[in-house]
Amino acid sequence: MVFSSLLFMFRFLPLVLILYYVLPAKFRNIILFLFSLFFYAWGEPVYVFLMLCSITVDFFAGKNINRLLQKNKRNIAKKVLLLSVVYNLGVLGFFKYADFLIGTVNGILGTSIPLTNLPLPIGISFFTFQTMSYTIDVYRQATQAQTSWLNYGTYVSMFPQLIAGPIVQYKTIAEQLRERKENTDDFVSGINRFLIGLGKKVLLANNIGVLWDSVSSMQAGSMPAATAWIGAAAYTFQIYFDFSGYSDMAIGLGRMFGFHFLENFNYPYTSRSITEFWRRWHISLSTWFREYVYIPLGGNRKGMWKQIRNLCVVWLLTGIWHGASWNFVLWGAYYGALLILEKFVLGRLLEKLPGFVRALYTLFFVALGWILFAFDDLGSGLGYLLAMFGAGGGFADNTTIYLLYNYAVLLVILLLGCTRLPKKLALWCGQKLGEDSWLFLVLRLVFYAALSLLCVAYLVDASYNPFLYFRF
């Protein structure tokens, strides 16, 4: 369903762009809003009304909060904010966590409460956090309340980042919603960024995902340690190129329509600590939890024990945000524990180690974390982790050699692709040839044309097209 929605977007995107640029500027938000709703309805026909309700509730909540603050009625404004937050969390909790809670109660008490079995609205975690950030920022007077329901609806429903982020805070694009200046440079750079993201997704993430699916379907109890580590590396690469690829596509599409979304990834696998990793991975989510949970709880301003409490709360919520199963709770607790250890125990020790050792330390624990993340069944995930440390028996076998023979080149490409090397190489070529030279321009054109053709060919031919973060 998600993939068909994306094909739908690609099919109609040229028409939308033509209408967007041909019609007068005053119609541009209308075009974006209507197409965004149409795009979402293509994949989730019923849940488009849920989104419209969220838009309406938070739009009027923001207006009333602003009006009450102007009248110095802060206590009443706070109650309106609370109602808005309760509504948003209630909707998110019902659709995403109701069956998880019912299943947990049934398992503990032996009851047989029927599950709702409702499908999860695509992207509900992302657009719910966006609407919450808006009302909270209006209450904090960090941004002005939006006076146009259409403009606010465009912000919430904007199709480039609607179903898998990044989480765009209203205050970062408030002025752009009202007035933005589209230009050729932004449009071309948007196309290039979109194609890079598409290439990451369909050429890299999808291909290494085949390896992960093959390894993860094996019996962990008899899996050699080397095979388990190859699978862990595959999933580590798949989730990065899948999610960062979609973020690149969203940022590129936004730029084509005149919007400048903030970056969501900054070479996270080059980090030299877990703390640094979470400054570079899914930046919009980390920023959201820091601004709306960690700092309001007191951050690091009220002593060590309260800081530890705040970190525990944030990472418990981060785990739960990602999914309604116990592996995500454990994954959040895992990172919370690592960050607390780095903050109060390991920090000074890490600073004394060589950079490559710190990088290996970070990748080691990140890879372990992704295995917890990958398996909804907690027992399967823990079994796989044990296999990585030899519980399956043996170090390697013929299957290990076969996998390395078939995927070694791709794994090297992925490893290099996680670094700044490709960007540095492109800059070096630009400096050597001259960025305005005809040869460099031709090379860029050939590169992006070839990338586009390869992606289209793969999409037409391939049947394996998972988008890992769409389930959140």
Query: For the chain, how many residues are written?
Result: 472
* Of 28, 201, 272, 322, catalytic: 322
Q: Which residue has the tokens 């400048």?
A: 260
Centroid of chain to Cα 53 = 24
Quick one: CA torsion of 375, 381, 384, 385, rounded to 10 degrees? Answer: 120
The two three-digit tokens of residue 340, written as one number: 């607390």
- Amino acid identity of residue 200, one-letter, is K
Whether residue 166 is preceded by a cis peptide bond, meaning omega within 30 degrees of 0, is yes
Helix ranges restricted to H, 272-354: 274-280, 283-289, 304-322, 326-341, 347-352
The two three-digit tokens of residue 355, written as one number: 């950079």
Centroid of chain to Cα 105 = 30
324: left (phi over 0), alpha (psi -120 to 50) or beta: beta
Centroid of chain to Cα 418 = 16
Helix ranges restricted to H, 71-123: 74-109
Task: Name the strand (E) or helix (H) holding 415.
Answer: helix 398-417
- Asked if 271 and 280 count as a contact pair (C-beta separation under 8 A), the reply is yes
Task: Establish whether 322 is a catalytic residue.
Answer: yes
Contacts 24+ apart (CB under 8 A), 367-371: 367/229, 367/232, 367/233, 367/236, 368/232, 368/334, 369/331, 369/334, 369/335, 370/232, 370/235, 370/236, 370/239, 371/232, 371/235
Task: Name the strand (E) or helix (H) holding 246.
Answer: helix 225-256
Mapping DSSP to helix (H, G, I), strand (E, B) and coil, where does residue 165 land?
coil
Give the C-alpha separation, 18 to 23, whole Å: 8
- Amino acid identity of residue 203, one-letter, is L
Centroid of chain to Cα 198 = 15
- CA dihedral sign, ordered 357, 358, 359, 361: positive
Give the C-alpha separation, 50 to 19, whole Å: 27
Q: Catalytic site residues? A: 322
